[in-house]
Amino acid sequence: MGLHRKIKVLVIDDSASVRQALVMVLNASPEIEVMATASDPFVAAQRIQEEVPDVIILDVEMPRMDGITFLRKLMAQRPIPTILCSTLVEDGSDTAIEALEAGAVDLILKPRLGTKQFLLESQTRIWDSVKAAAVSRIATKGAPRRIGVEKKLTADVMMPAPVESRAMTRTTEQIVCIGASTGGTESLREVLMELPLNCPGIVVVQHMPEVFTAAFARRLNQLCQIDVKEAEDGDSVLPGRALIAPGNHHMLLQRSGARYTVAIKDGPLVSRHRPSVDVLFRSAALHSGANAVGIIMTGMGDDGAKGLLEMKRAGARTFAQNEETCVVFGMPKEAIALGGVGSIVPLSAIPASIMSARAKP
């Protein structure tokens, strides 16, 4: 074994074929090993008493106890980073949001047909989820493991790099751009619930699979004073409204006169994500300049770091969530190291940072 031991994973699923596929996918990573599998939560609980895993992959529909109930009991008694892998979110079910509120670190969609082939094709996505979970704040008492970042495409594939001289003069219309990944769903809920109806228009990229974002936006819309919706191509960015980028599509900020809208586009993975925070932030640097505020929150990897630096160079005010309140201090850490962050703030101070966009400097 090398300097850093492998991430131990416990797979809980009542389907033998799914367990077999997940074992094959996970053990193919040099950094991950399946510690054990279990057919239901009761078998899993016995296995955890013998050896505690670093990460759990959990199904929802299982005999004797459903996955959400088990997750709540687990988080109340012995918190272990848990990834939900279920078919129940195939149509955008609110089960996904319920799982996140119960403490799930991430979500993986499991289709009802062709599950084994889908899991094999989703190998990189599953590896990334496990690695992010393993370094999440709930996962470690000491220093987190170092997980390498693979080479990836940048926002250059979606649009040209901004030119500093193009930074716009400040106007009364302000735009807030937020990027988040692992741990961001609950952090965003905390932030958006604190905002009043007169807050600036907000555009958000949260790394989530395609079917989750609509349910996520609906849930936030029920909880928040402001209007929250999954963004559609051409939607206006308005005060008192937050637009969530749809999963599997990039979201770009555009401007026509005094009016801001969003464009929803296909395209390659950027910084290994679609939607990508870098794509959103670069579009804000190009089209909003000093009229924007950029905020990077909890998440694994470095998506958004370069884009936030571009926003800062274009005159935008930029903020990063601090390490103490991040589930995973990856994206903010990279943005800080690159020099794109003007202020580092705790999660509780982000709503005030957003409202500060209403005041001219």
Residue 310: predicted pLDDT: 97
Tell me the C-alpha to C-alpha distance, in Å, between residue 316 and each of 154, 242, 341: 21, 19, 10
Lookup result for tokens 């996904």: 96
Residue 120: predicted pLDDT: 76
Residue 112: predicted pLDDT: 66
DSSP symbol at 272: T
Active site residues: 181, 207, 303
Residue 359: predicted pLDDT: 55
Residue 277: predicted pLDDT: 98
**Bridging pattern class, strands 250-256 and 106-109:** unpaired
Residue 144: predicted pLDDT: 42
Residue 172: predicted pLDDT: 52
Residue 161: predicted pLDDT: 66
How many other CB atoms sit within 10 Å of the CB of residue 146? 8
Report how far residue 293's alpha carbon sits from residue 353's, in angstroms, rounded to the nearest whole number.
9
8 Å CB contact between 309 and 334: no
Residue 141: predicted pLDDT: 41
Residue 168: predicted pLDDT: 47
Q: Which residues of the chain have pLDDT under 50?
A: 1-3, 91, 139-151, 165-170, 361
Which ranges in the chain belong to alpha helices (H)? 16-27, 41-50, 67-77, 95-102, 115-121, 123-134, 184-193, 212-223, 277-287, 305-313, 331-338, 350-355
Residue 155: predicted pLDDT: 65
CA count, 13 A, side-chain hemisphere, 24: 13
Residue 256: predicted pLDDT: 83
| All structural domains of the chain | 7-134 (3.40.50.2300), 156-358 (3.40.50.180)
Residue 318: predicted pLDDT: 98
